[in-house]
Amino acid sequence: MTRIHIDPALVEAMIMEMGTIGAHSGTGVWRTVYSPAWVAANDLFARWSEEAGLSVSRDAVGNVWSKLAGTEGGKSIVSGSHIDTQTPGGRYDGTLGALSALIALRALSEQFGSPKRTMEALSLCEEEGSRFPGANFWGSRAITGAIAPGDAEAMKGYSGETMAEAMLAIGLNPQAIPSAKRDDIDAFIELHIEQGPILEHADLPVAIVDAITGLRHYHVRLTGEQNHAGAFPMDLRRDPMAGFAEIASGVINTAHRLGRPAVTTIGRIAADPNGAAVVPRSVSFTVDARHPDPEKRLQLYALHEGLMREVAERRGLAIEWEIGIEKVPCLSDPGLVTTFREAAAVQGVPTLTMASGAGHDTQQMAKIARTVMIFVRSKDGRSHTPEEFSSIPDIVAGIEVLAAGLHRLAY
């Protein structure tokens, strides 16, 4: 029954120092991929890794790998997360997972010496898409070989520069991207803030994530008849706003009734012509529907589609939709879920097991490795803002679970 000790003072010092790099808006951080702040953050990550006795290497896209070699060799056990942020984000989203892996490996090395299996702490270069909107998961996609030749040259940033230009500006060679591919990773474990309120409402510090949700975006347009708001009686209208309201209530209620972890959101809407005294010709909107269960998600989508068709037909409205983002659920490795749940129990950290409703690098890494995630409680469920916050006791609990699980896998 091995227990790991993680030093809260060290954890807090590292989070606060890393948070000064790209500091913005008080407690915020603005650290887009390949920016000067990003270079400085990775240099710090590398320096701390070396101070911890880890051997540091950087790959073609700038991911930083800090290795604790195992006596028996074989495929690596990797933990980490992304070092880039939203504009601005906070100190925790992504960065906490990279620091936690480094802290866990340092603690394991100090307390237990060399492992049998090789472990690596990973600072992933890019996840947020906050400088290049098409770049999401750039770091993990390079590792899994999912970046096609020419992608870096074709991808444009918000300021007009290409990804290739941004790489060259800091000495990275876009032609070398294929060399970042890895095929020797056994397991990938990502610690991340929850970004939601489930742990807070359950009054628990840490969760083991058994799946990352499947999600589908519908881009829907309802078309009726544009009419004068005064001269057209209600009973003769074909009003797409009335149809939208019924559909919006319906899909939101459907997800609510199905219960957690089903979620459905209508975040985008536009009426045409959008005049106060005009029954609109058309209403366009998005439906974001998510469920981590491979079959229940299809049930959720089918319920939404059935409702949309029924409302449109009954109201004499034309309806058309396109499916935008479509992600299948990413199921965690059941063995890793069990390993980390048991490690948490021995460590004395109470956990729950939950699905992630947000996307993560782990979804990419799952293509080449067994995966699992660890969530740390988020204050008010917030992220992507300078106000995001997780307490040091909760973070320490999360790192203890991470380190205890890694100990079971590697020693």
- The distance from CA 405 to its chain's CA centroid, rounded to whole angstroms, is 21
198 vs 406, beta carbon nearer a second copy: 198
As a whole number of angstroms, the distance between CA 14 and CA 121 comes to 15
Determine the Cα–Cα distance for residues 395 and 221; give it in Å rounded to an integer. 44
- Do 355 and 211 touch, CB atoms closer than 8 A? yes
Nearest residue (CB) to a second copy, 284 versus 339: 284
- Please name which of 156, 172, 177, 151 lies closest in space to residue 38, comparing C-alpha atoms: 172
Assess 286 for contact with a second copy (CB under 8 A).
yes
Q: Is 219 annotated for ligand binding?
A: no
Cβ 2 vs Cβ 47: under 8 Å: no
Binding-site member from 113, 171, 234, 322 for a second copy (CB under 8 A): 234
Q: Which of residues 378-397 bind a second copy (CB under 8 A)?
A: 381, 383-384
5 is in an annotated binding site: no
The interface region with a second copy, picked from 96-104, 143-151, 190-198, 399-407 by CB under 8 A, is 190-198
25 part of the interface to a second copy, by CB under 8 A: no
Minimum CB–partner distance for residue 255 and a second copy (Å): 5
Query: Is 360 known to sit in a ligand binding site?
Result: no
- Binding of residue 136 to a second copy (CB under 8 A): no
**Least distance from a second copy to the Cβ atom of residue 51, Å:** 34
Contacting residue, 8, 53, 149, 275, with a second copy by CB under 8 A: 275
Stretch that binds a second copy, among 9-17, 121-129, 226-234, 343-351 (CB under 8 A): 226-234
**Taking CB under 8 A as the criterion, which residues in 74-93 touch a second copy?**
none
Identify which range of 1-9, 104-112, 172-180, 247-255 contacts a second copy by CB under 8 A.
Answer: 247-255
Residue 370: beta bridge partners?
Answer: 187
How many angstroms separate the CA atoms of 29 and 20, rounded?
8
> Can you name the residues that pair with 161 across neighbouring β-strands?
none
Neighbouring residues of 383: CB distance < 8 A, sequence distance ≥ 6: 89, 90, 92, 93, 193, 195
Q: How many residues bind a second copy (CB under 8 A)?
A: 63
Nearest CA to 322 among 355, 285, 369, 296? 285
- Which is nearest to 308 in space by CA: 249, 247, 217? 247
Q: CA-to-CA distance for 255 and 324, rounded, in angstroms? A: 19
- How distant is the alpha carbon of residue 223 from its chain centre? 35
Of the residues 274, 298, 306, 310, which one makes contact with a second copy according to CB under 8 A? 274
| Residue 192 is assigned to a ligand binding site | yes
Nearest to residue 53, comparing CAs of 119, 139, 6, 100? Answer: 119
Residue 97, C-beta contacts closer than 8 angstroms, at least 6 positions apart: 79, 80, 81, 82, 190, 191, 192
Closest contact distance (angstroms) between CB of 279 and a second copy is: 5
Say whether 384 counts as a known binding-site residue: yes
Which of 161, 165, 186, 288 contacts a second copy by CB under 8 A?
A: 288
CB of 255 closer than 8 Å to CB of 266: no
Which token pair is 238?
């074909």
Tell whether residue 246 is a contact of a second copy (CB under 8 A). yes
Of 278 and 346, CB closest to a second copy: 278
Nearer to a second copy, 41 or 215 (CB): 215
Nearest to 166, CA basis, from 341, 14, 36: 36
- Interface of this chain with a second copy, residues 251 to 270, rule: CB under 8 A: 252, 255-256, 260-270
**Contact set for a second copy, span 295-354 (CB under 8 A):** 324-325
Q: Residues in the site for a second copy, rule: CB under 8 A?
A: 194-198, 201, 213, 215, 217, 219, 227-236, 239, 241-242, 244-246, 248-249, 252, 255-256, 260-271, 274-280, 283, 286, 288, 290, 324-325, 356-359, 381, 383-384
Residues at the binding site for Zn(2+) are 82, 93, 128, 192, 384
